[in-house]
Structure 1
Amino acid sequence: MLTTLIGRTLRVPTSTGPTGNGRAEARRLDAALLQVGFKASKELIEHVAGLAKPAAYTKTIVDAVRTLVGDDVQHNPYFKDFPHGVPDTADFWVYCLHDALLKHVPGDELAANGVLNLLAMPAYGTRQHTYEDLLAAHDLLITSFKDRVSVLHLGGTEEEETRRLYLELATSSTPLNPADLELLAELAQQTNEWPAVIPMRENRAVINAARLLRGAPLRVDTVTDVLRLACRASGGDVTLVEPTRFRSFCRPERRLIMAALDEVVADNPGKLGDVRQRREAWKRLGERLHPHEYGHLPHAQDVFAVARGNKVVRSFAGRTELAFQDDDIRRATEVLSQAPGMLIRQTDRLLRTASEKDVQFVVDAVRDAVPAVSGRVLCSLLQHLENRETPDAARVFATRHRRAWITYDTRMPLAYDVVRELTGILEDELVRRLPEVSELTVADEVRDIVLPLSGNASEDGFNVLPRGSKVRLDGDLLRFFVYWRERARTTDYDLSAVLLNGDFDHVGQVSWTNYKQGGAYYSGDLTSARDGATEFIDVPRKAAKAKFVVPQVNIFGGEGFTEVAESMFGFMSRELDQRGKPFEPSTVRARSAMRGYGNVAVPVVFERTEDAWVATWLHLYLRGTPWANQVEGNRDIARQLARGVLSRKYFTVGRLAGLISRKTTVDGQKLHVDLTNADQLDKLLEPTG
């Protein structure tokens, strides 16, 4: 847990070891951290210096940050001299064929029906050197003042830091990514504490599932909360997107679940309206809970009666849809006004379908609703409206698992006057909630970070930002990489790059079928990863011919991104004269896990400017094909993804800072808040009336 705490928070829990003279170990710690791009704070150095035997403690610290940037594994590309000595693709294949013939590989294995089988060649896809050979082939990295340095701070005790992390995850106001959700589950098993507020239903279900195992009373306030915890307790999908095969529950567990369900419905029978939406799941759960055994819990039995169709209850969503079907926009608006958050989320649909005389009725309803709506929902609508005066270049949708779906924007644009009026209403409400400040300082490097309006737009990792966020990369050389380690089956991932001009037209690609093009070059194709495999692509800015570079990771065969033991994507920047081995942890700018559902990952797009590279996070996955995915088959959709995301306007830190500046006064307070933190953002913009 200590390693997890350090990697997740960049705070080091205090050691409980005996005091003494650990100054020498403290100096070694600082030197070791610098090698991987970190530095210990003054307080951390002083804490280590005051320990008698801190060696094991400092090793854990170094191991944690090395894992964070991906330096806990050996990154060994196919060509040991990479980025030098990369041959032309055809020349390399000829070499492999010549080597195979010398080794007397049968001709029918080398080719079938006139098609060359690269995987049958002994020299193809398998490194011909050791990691030590790689190290010997490279000079030491020449340090640069532009190299990344991240500070590690001293925290509280391990127990305090564990509780702090548990509460941070449990009370998150955006959906957690899968890795953080599993971490919350692990922490929930270690505590009986129930946070005062749990905004996300998935988090509530994870904590309730842990309570169910301990036999503790459940805390739910909707019938769907019960369904979610049953899914989690059965090892299923807590988001309810994928169907769950429910396990058998023991009698004490059934009693707890049915009692919770009965209490929810008894307090508000109208909540039965949510059952019909997932009636099949409820019927399957009923087979495991045996509701007929609980005659003393009639309200819980009503849930399953609705699921079976023996009892009819009209849901809130159902009444709304009936109004839309009758083209009665005023009635739909009145129904939605009973749930202000739903009204805000349905504003575009209401405006698109409203007659000219009903548009102002919708706008007035929105004006009345905004004081009761969360700040993130208001920011989401504000961001949406800023993209509705003209059609999108491409509509990009993403599921909770970051699976992308792209379509043309066939919606009629919203009227300019309506967009301006609604924008003014939303901005005025947000400004009303903001504190008066006398001073606000926002660093230039965070102004283009997209506010964390949804946790579905990012992944676990280091320096990972929400979709649409931009990061400037100083240094002439851009290098990005993929690492994977297979679990049970031979697995072949292929790193590729689509090269685009300023109009997003395709001008080339770099991959295992084309090692060099447009100034970019590839490190070589590895076709299995029992002990881990890494592939790189280098793009020197001054030599690059493309305006945009879109990396993608294709699954050619084997295990998917959610099945492999490990998988990550990352990028580095350095000067051309820094030398060093292909993977230098101090040059890593970001490292993202790859755990999405799809056979092609498109994590980021890079834009070449006059003096730097600018990375824009995508965090998207394409369906692809079951096997043999190649860049040639995905380049057009990758181009559309890049164009759609880059042409969209996002609600950024800089945009929010502009709203805060409207409340700047001489007598205001100095504002110290991390505008990129979802929880701090919610506190800043919470409804106040």
Structure 2
Amino acid sequence: MQPVFESVEEIIIVKSARVPVPISGQGDAAALARQFDVALMSAGFKASSDLLRAVGAMKPDEAATLVDTTLTAVRRSVGDHVRHNAYFTSFPHDVPDTVEFWLSCLRKAMEDRQFARSDANPRRSGVLNLLALPSYGRYQHSYEEMLAEHEKFEPGLTDRLTVLHAGDPVAAEADRLLRRLAASTVPLNDEDRAALLHLARHRYDSSADGDGLVIGEVPMRDTLATLNRVRVENLTPPAVTTVTDVLRLACALSDGDPTLAEPTRLRSFPRPWRRLLLEALDDVVRDDERKLSDVARHRERWKRLGERLHAGQYPQWPHAARVFAVARGTEPAPDTLTARVERVFATSDTTRVLDTLAIAPGMLVRAVDRLLRAAASEADRAAIIAAVERALPDVAGRVALSLREHLTNRQEGSSAPRLFVNRSGRPWSTPDARRRLDADTIAALIRLCDDEVRRRLPQHQRIVVDPDMLRVALPLSGRMKAGGMGTLPRGSRIAVDGDTVRFFTHWREAQHTTDYDLSCEMLDAALTTTGQSSWTSLNGKGFRHSGDITEAPDGASEFIDVNLAEVRAAVLVPQVNRYSGEGFEDAAEAFTGFMVRTPSQKGLPFEPATVRTKSDLAGHGNVSLPMLFQKSDDGWECIWLHLNLRGEPNFNTVEGNSATTSRLVQSVLARRYLNVADLLAIHETGGTPVERRRPLATDDAALLIGLETPEGRMGGCTVVTPANLTDLVPA
């Protein structure tokens, strides 16, 4: 499922919590502004005083359009744009025992004459198939009938209330957001990349001088591919510096993955596009034929691209033709740096390895652990430290921070399994068989990383931070975070402040009957499974399941209520299992999340004001683990995972994933993720005062870090929220 945005205005509202306000004549829409605020609060949002004044001063018809656009955007962001029905109409009350429920479905089926005569009758087939029972897995009531079963929702003091602020006109807001996304120092996730594409097309369409997308430096190659896609769509030459840039661009033009992490089915390109791609490729190779060495990394993709571009038809670009000759093996390619490094590593000569890596600072920094493990003497370790000191000024800020995070985990000498996660969120773990590293060497390298990061950090008179943000992990890669509302980078920890947490998932099938199962595995403090809530366990101590839905032509929802005081578990791992039908990527719509409720609030199974996060289901796995909940002495906290297990092609269940889930949870909990508090500690050692308090208030000449932008005029302060957390990572 690809992220879809209905308008540029929606992107701006969702990504920046700012509502674009057009410049218009004076009007009187004060009554509509008050109604707007009430409607927003029902969805867990609130208009700032500036926004209310701006709406109230608009012409009524213009105000009505703005109100409609804003409400649509915020409701979609929390999942309130669909009707969330529940199998059991009075959920979380009156949920039956699992076996009792199955027997009731069987009794109803046997009373159905048509079923009794069918081959699905267990008396005839000898097999009981729950999915074949007429009353199992399908709503037995309408949404309106479910509404009648529930009392009115009572707002609570702990309900989420996100403030929306008045923004500039659409063009200015769109340009500001486009520049922020394009300048991101970490890779964007799918949702942000889709927003970037939408904004770039809007920028190109509305550009008066036709200069295209000249927006300054773009640090990330996949981000550049997205912008180049819009250039080529408008027959403007792309900006590329490597042959791989052209390959990424071809994947982007084919609606594929410009990160090259996933295979892309390349399209047949129009002739004008082919000419632009070949000309760009020719320019790159003509300027430096050593860049042909990059072709071998994606040899098969280049062969497929060559079939689409027909380079032989364009003799004016002979250097482009050489790329495909190298891919086919008819022309030798220059030796790659990686190959040279591997040959030198085989000699066990640290000096030669460091000399070879000196021309590639990023590769050297990423190879530090391997270098240290191969070091044979104190002199070798000193040489490595000196080489890293020379390389750090030339690598990206996120690379320096990633090295620091890695060294921190090596410093602690953890015996926990190593966790690897690819760009699609697919995890695997293995016992850590690496030898321990010298503690003094690690400490020296950490000091070098801190010094380099401190040198790059912007200067602030002081920093004010909401304590809830301190344990949010730094986004060293945007691909580590799913799209949605309230999602945070993997490893982030946020306190959960309610009596009951309600997990939810919703999906709508595109073409084929699809069954997803919301489940929750329960672990003790030793991370041993103690129970689970799923379609096979509807009711137990401290939890209730809303019932299994097995098809979703018009959309289906499932819920799990967990009473945090009663449940017999120290760790909760909610998950969505693909049982049958379409994968997460293929469904028309699929998302999950959680709410925090109190028993006195009553209301419907889905109340948007209680939604803490809504996360898109994506990736090519068959089991999604978006987060886990851990009990500590201070209460419960949510820890973000963003993991997609391969699972089985069909019939995935929480029971079948139990061992894998427990092992992955152990790896995540044992890992030390670099967080906001760590970065602020670097600020403080540089002399910047940091104040930890809530609520935040606008102050001049300060950096504010909080869960949302505080109300009031910003003046000269900079505000960082989860929406623009990447701004904390220095370039």
TM range (shorter): over 0.9
Gap runs ≥5 in structure 1:
none
Measure how far apart 1:474 and its partner are.
Answer: 0.8
Q: Distance in 2 between matches of 1:373 and 1:237?
A: 25
Task: Map Cα deviations across residues 47-100 of structure 1 (whole Å, 9 max, x no partner).
Answer: 111122122321221121111111111111111111110111000011111111
Please tell me whether the aligned partners of residues 703 and 720 of structure 2 are also in contact (alpha carbons under 8 angstroms).
Answer: no
- 1:181 is the counterpart of 2:193: yes
Structure 2 residue corresponding to 1:47, chosen from 43, 51, 54: 54
Q: How does 1:154-169 map to 2 (within 5 A)?
A: 154-169=166-181
Q: What's the CA shift for 1:254?
A: 2.6
Cα distance, 1:415 vs structure 2: 2.2
Q: Is the 8 A contact 1:11 1:154 kept in 2?
A: yes
Equivalent residue in structure 2 for 1:455, among 438, 460, 478: 478
Aligned equivalent of 1:593, options 593, 609, 616: 616
Asked if structure 1 preserves the Cα contact closer than 8 Å seen for 2:185 and 2:726, the reply is no
Q: Is the 8 A contact 1:556 1:629 kept in 2?
A: yes
Aligned residue in 2 for 1:89 = 98
Shift of 1:666: 8.6
Q: Does 1:116 align with 2:128?
A: yes
Secondary structure of the structure 2 residue equivalent to 1:388: helix
Residue in 2 that maps onto 1:207: 227
**What letter corresponds to residue 259 of structure 1 in structure 2?**
E
Q: Which amino acid aligns with 2:77?
A: L
Q: What does the per-residue CA deviation read over 1:229-278, in whole Å, with 9 as the maximum and x for residues that have no partner?
A: 12222333322233434333344333222221122122222212211222
Aligned-partner residue type, residue 210 of structure 1? V
| TM-score of the pair, normalised by structure 2 | 0.90
Residue 84 of structure 2 corresponds to: 75
Instruction: State the one-letter code of the partner of 1:663.
Output: G
2:41 is the alignment partner of 1:34: yes
Residues 410 and 684 of structure 1, relative CA distance in 2, 3 Å threshold: closer
- Between the aligned partners of 2:29 and 2:724, the Cα distance in structure 1 is 38
Q: 1:369 to 1:272 in 2, by over 3 A?
A: same
Q: CA deviation at 1:3?
A: 2.4
- Superposition pairs for residues 512-523 of structure 1, below 5 Å? 512-523=535-546
Equivalent residue, structure 1, for 2:593:
570
Pairing 1:390-405 to 2, within 5 Å after superposition: 390-405=413-428
- Where do residues 380-399 of structure 1 align in structure 2 (5 Å cutoff)? 380-389=402-411, 390-399=413-422
Q: Secondary structure at the match of 1:77?
A: coil
CA change 1:103–1:250 in 2 (3 A) is closer
What does residue range 100-499 of structure 1 map to in structure 2 within 5 Å? 100-104=109-113, 105-106=115-116, 108-111=119-122, 114-190=126-202, 191=204, 192-309=212-329, 310-357=331-378, 358-389=380-411, 390-435=413-458, 437-499=460-522
Q: Closer, same or farther in 2 for the Cα pair 1:392/1:378, shift >3 Å? A: farther
1:582 alignment partner, one of 605, 613, 624: 605
Report if the CA contact (8 A) 1:110-1:118 is conserved. no
Report the equivalent of 2:730.
Answer: 685
In structure 1, distance between residues paired with 2:328 and 2:688: 61
Check the 8 A contact 1:449/1:676 in 2, yes or no.
no
CA deviations 1:210-236 (Å, max 9, x no partner) are 222221112111111111112222333
- The residue type paired with residue 262 of structure 1 is D
Residue pair 1:391, 1:411 contacting (<8 A) in 2 also: no
Superimposed CA distance per residue, residues 604-633 of structure 1 (whole angstroms, 9 cap, x where no aligned partner): 001134564211010111001111111110
Query: Number of aligned pairs?
Result: 686
Q: Secondary structure at the match of 2:50?
A: helix
Give 3-state SS (helix, strand or coil) of 1:15's partner: coil
CA contact (8 A) 2:28 2:57 kept: yes
Normalised to the residue count of structure 1, the TM-score between the two structures is 0.95
| Contact 1:674/1:680, CA 8 A, preserved across alignment | no
Write the letter of the residue equivalent to 2:376: S
State the alpha-carbon separation in 2 of the partners of residues 383 and 275 from structure 1.
32
Aligned to 1:165, what secondary structure does the other structure show? helix
Q: Are positions 1:7 and 2:8 aligned together?
A: no
Name the structure 1 match of 2:715.
Answer: none
C-alpha distance in 2, partners of 1:160/1:524?
A: 47
What is the one-letter code of the residue matched to 1:430?
V
Tell me, yes or no, if the aligned pair for 1:376 and 1:682 is still in contact at 8 Å: no
Amino acid at match of 1:312: A
Secondary structure, counterpart of 1:377 in structure 2: helix
3-state DSSP of counterpart to 1:132: helix
- TM-aligned CA distance change 1:246 to 1:535, over 3 Å: closer
DSSP-derived class of the 2:51 partner: helix
Q: Which residue of 1 aligns with 2:70?
A: 61
- Indicate conservation of the 8 Å contact 1:442/1:657, yes or no: no
SS state of the match for residue 561, structure 2?
strand
Matched residues in 1 for 2:647 and 2:348: separation? 39
Indicate the SS of the match to 1:580.
coil
Give the counterpart letter for 1:290 in structure 2: H
> What CA distance in whole angstroms lies between the structure 2 residues aligned with 1:675 and 1:396?
29
2:561 aligned with 1:538, yes or no? Answer: yes
| Displacement of 1:648 | 0.8
Q: Say which SS state the counterpart of residue 657 (structure 2) adopts.
A: helix
Identity in percent: 44
Q: Is the 8 A contact 1:451 1:676 kept in 2?
A: no
Gap change, CA 1:603 and 1:679, over 3 Å in 2: closer
308-317 vs 464-473, which deviates more?
A: 308-317
CA offset digits 1:404-454 (Å, max 9, x no partner): 222222222322222112112212222333355553221111001001110
Q: Distance in 2 between matches of 1:666 and 1:588?
A: 34
Paired residue type of 1:109: A
Tell me, in whole angstroms, the C-alpha distance in 1 between the residues paired with 2:612 and 2:726.
Answer: 25
Q: Is the 8 A contact 1:486 1:559 kept in 2?
A: yes
* Rounded Cα–Cα distance in structure 1 between residues aligned with 2:644 and 2:221: 25
Whether the 8 Å CA contact 2:520–2:572 is kept in 1: the answer is yes
Q: Deviations over 1:80-134 (max 9, x none)?
A: 1111101110000111111111113237413376442101111111121211122
CA RMSD of aligned residues (A): 2.2
Change (3 A) 1:137 1:244: closer
Aligned-partner residue type, residue 353 of structure 1: A
Deviation at 1:511, TM superposition (A): 0.5
What residue number does 2:528 align with? 505
The answer as to whether partners of 2:185 and 2:729 remain within 8 angstroms in 1 is no
8 Å contact kept, 1:341–1:373: yes
CA distance in 2, matches of 1:244, 1:223: 17
